[in-house]
Amino acid sequence: MSAAVTMPQSTPAGDARVKPKRERTFTQTNGRPDYVKIGLWVSLMVTGALWAIPFYIMFVTSLKSKAEISQTSAWSLPQDWVWSNYADAIETGNLWTTGGNSLLISLVKVPLGLLLAAACAYAIARIRFKFNRVALGVIAVGSMVPIQIGLGPLFSTMVNLDLLDNVWGLMLPYLAFGIPYQVFVLYGFMRAVPDEIEESARIDGASTFRVFWQLILPLAKPALAALFILDFVATWNEYAMATTLLQSQDNWTIPLAVQSFSTQFATDYGPLNAFVFMSAVPVLIVYLLFQRYFVSGALAGAVKG
Amino acid sequence: MTTQSPPRSGAPTPSRSARPVRRRRSPFLRALPYLIPAVGLYGYFLLYPMLDAVRLSFFTWSGFKTDEPAFVGIDNYVRMFTSDPVFWKAFGNSVIWVVLSLLVPMMLALLLALGLNRKMLGRNLLRSVFYLPAVFASITVAAMWRWLYNPTLGMVNQLLEAVGLEEWTRTWLGDPKIALYSVFVASVWQAVGFSMVLLLAGLQNVPQELVEAAKIDGANAWQVFRNVTIPALRPTFIVVVILTMINSLKVFDLIVGMTGGGPAQSTQVLALWSYTQSFTNHSFGQGGAVATVLLLVSLALVVPYMLWTMRGEDK
């Protein structure tokens, strides 16, 4: 979160650093093995393996039959690879409906929210009306308080608007809860655009809107890309508001569907783990698509430089 | 999509003149069309509900439309502070959670970031492995870990048995003494990657010339770290601290998914207790009182940071 923001041309994550002429991995300058480095590498690898264990367990579980889950070790590979767990998961989790709802919400809400946040950040950062910093402060505070505080009254508000249990209605609070952080980050980014650039556009007769649309917005692309990832992940995974505001199963989003796999007495772990894997696929796709902006954009910019 | 209407500048566009800034409508009026959509949504669906929660904390209300809220003054607070042991449990657990989050995952993230900032075999793979849990929904992470903690079939107890530590096996989520910490382990697993990525980004701001210069002057690794890396990393570190605190106060999904606050309210936290009071116990007044405490705690942690960020930006 930011005030001043490193501009996009600053070094993107570690790889662009000044490198020594010769790459040394595990040897010192004099060619002898560097035991400190080897020790570091080994401990990182062990920690990494520890972090990967839950994924391994999930994966093997997702391919085991119910009987096998209760009879064999959690570590063992499946004897029969029960791919039908994935088909069962699609059915039990109602994946096409819940996934469709999640996708609809994310694909409408995320770009729209970014546009509104960018417009707001532009006004605060570039138009410089009176009290603009007060406005920024009031908005930014909203990104830092837990959403659960307003959940009760939000429920009443949505009831009064007749938008309870409505996928489109859910987008309104989702927009509201994404905006503060985005305004905060984009403000820093837009603030860092040199005045001369805007002045020369003004001299050429550009209107306020054109300066926003054709000058400032394109310059903020790295931040927008990074915020797109963050917001997509957050929206796709949001649970607290969805569970409060969506009721009928046809309106459920992916995180709500997880509870379909448990009854009061038992959980169907094979299909559940299959569902968990499948539910993360869209997020992983978005992450891979925008990855190169991820670190260099809002995150490097998240820091007061 | 509903785009806001493009506001044209009020004054007629003069032909190109040398004067860079023309007088137009007041800046505020020009800013308004850009502000209204975002500020309106924010105000109505975020700010207003939060303030309304504070208002409701002085009322008693079931939350049903047919029912009218009745003003009761500070009764809700009196009840909460004096005769609601769950509130104090939740408050204590929230404090424990914030403190532990500042110690464990943050230190781990710093070590990982420092380690993975060096060139080494498999660096990108490791970074991905640590970050991957962060893209999964907390509620699915909760489901996964409930499986890993399963008393008989779960990986954790089976691992302990396999290495001969049978006496360490337990019902990780069923024992009120340790359930909170069991959930916390899952949160560390999930949260470390994001802090690590932030710190890795921050490490790119460490001036390499200074590192080289210090080495030439004979500084050892620790001295370089202490006198060059740490100061350059400080701004990032503060951001990570703030985000960690905020996220610890927000913790909700993981607890709902793993223990539901139990057993015997031993994993209750403020965010969940506010929700439970409002929606399960149908007492929006009590829920509002808990929410107000949560709001004040959040502000106390966050406002100093806000002031720090905005400092020196006067123009």
**Closest residue by Cα to residue B259 from B127, B74, B93, B46:** B93
Question: Is residue B275 in a domain?
Answer: no
Question: Which span out of A117-126, A221-230, B306-315 was modeled with the highest average pLDDT?
Answer: A117-126
- Which residues are paired to A262 by β-bridges? A267
Question: Is residue B297 in a domain?
Answer: no
For chain A, say whether B247 makes contact (Cβ under 8 Å).
no
How many residues in total does chain A contain? 305
Q: Mind telling me how many Å the CA of B137 is from chain A's nearest CA?
A: 5
Higher pLDDT, A52 or A9: A52
Domain span at B258 = 85-268
Residues in A closer than 8 angstroms to B56, CB to CB, are: 152-153
Q: Mind telling me how many Å the CA of A1 is from chain B's nearest CA?
A: 7
Question: Is residue B146 in a domain?
Answer: yes
Asked if A148 lies within 8 A of B271 by C-beta distance, the reply is yes
Domain map (residue ranges) of chain A? 21-82, 88-301
CA dist B283 to A166, A233, B53, B286, Å?
Answer: 24, 33, 12, 5
Does residue A293 register a pLDDT over 60?
A: yes
Question: Is residue B218 in a domain?
Answer: yes
The whole-number pLDDT of residue B40 equals 93
Low-confidence residues in chain B, pLDDT < 50: 1-19, 314-315
Asked if B34 lies within 8 A of A127 by C-beta distance, the reply is yes
Domains held by chain B: number = 1
Does residue A296 register a pLDDT over 70?
A: no
The whole-number pLDDT of residue B85 equals 87
**Closest residue by Cα to residue A297 from A16, A15, A14, A5:** A5
The whole-number pLDDT of residue A12 equals 39
Higher pLDDT, B133 or A287: B133
Residues in B closer than 8 angstroms to A303, CB to CB, are: 198, 201-202, 205, 235-236, 239
The whole-number pLDDT of residue A172 equals 94
**Cα A81–Cα A84–Cα A90 angle in degrees, nearest 5:** 135
User: What's the CATH number where B245 sits?
Assistant: 1.10.3720.10
Residues in B closer than 8 angstroms to A45, CB to CB, are: 122, 126
The whole-number pLDDT of residue B17 equals 46
B221, two tokens: 């690794």
Does residue A298 register a pLDDT over 60?
A: no
The whole-number pLDDT of residue B180 equals 93
The whole-number pLDDT of residue B140 equals 92
A109, two tokens: 């809400």
pLDDT tier for residue A202 given thresholds of 50, 70 and 90: confident
Average pLDDT over residues A260-288: 85
Asked if A148 lies within 8 A of B294 by C-beta distance, the reply is yes
Does residue A82 register a pLDDT over 60?
A: yes
Instruction: List, in sequence order, every beta strand (DSSP E) within chain B.
Output: 59-60, 70-71
Residues in B closer than 8 angstroms to A177, CB to CB, are: 45-46
pLDDT one-digit tens code per residue, A185-199: 888 888 888 888 888
CB atoms < 10 A from the CB of A234, how many?
17
User: Per-residue DSSP letters for A59-104?
Assistant: HHHTTS-HHHHHHS-TTSPPSS--THHHHHHHHHTTHHHHHHHHHH
Closest residue, chain A, to B203 (C-alpha): A14
pLDDT one-digit tens code per residue, A131-180: 888 888 888 888 888 888 999 899 989 998 999 989 999 999 999 999 99
Does residue A55 register a pLDDT over 60?
A: yes
pLDDT tier for residue A24 given thresholds of 50, 70 and 90: low
Interface list for A 69-98 with B (CB within 8 A):
69-70, 73-75
Question: Is residue B93 in a domain?
Answer: yes
Contact call for residues B288 and B54 (beta carbons, < 8 A): yes
Q: Which CATH number fits domain A88-301: 3.40.50.620, 3.20.20.80, 1.20.200.10, 1.10.3720.10?
A: 1.10.3720.10
**Closest residue by Cα to residue A278 from A102, A109, A106:** A102
The whole-number pLDDT of residue A295 equals 59
pLDDT tier for residue A4 given thresholds of 50, 70 and 90: very low
For chain B, say whether A169 makes contact (Cβ under 8 Å).
no
CA dist A27 to A14, A33, B123, Å?
Answer: 21, 4, 17
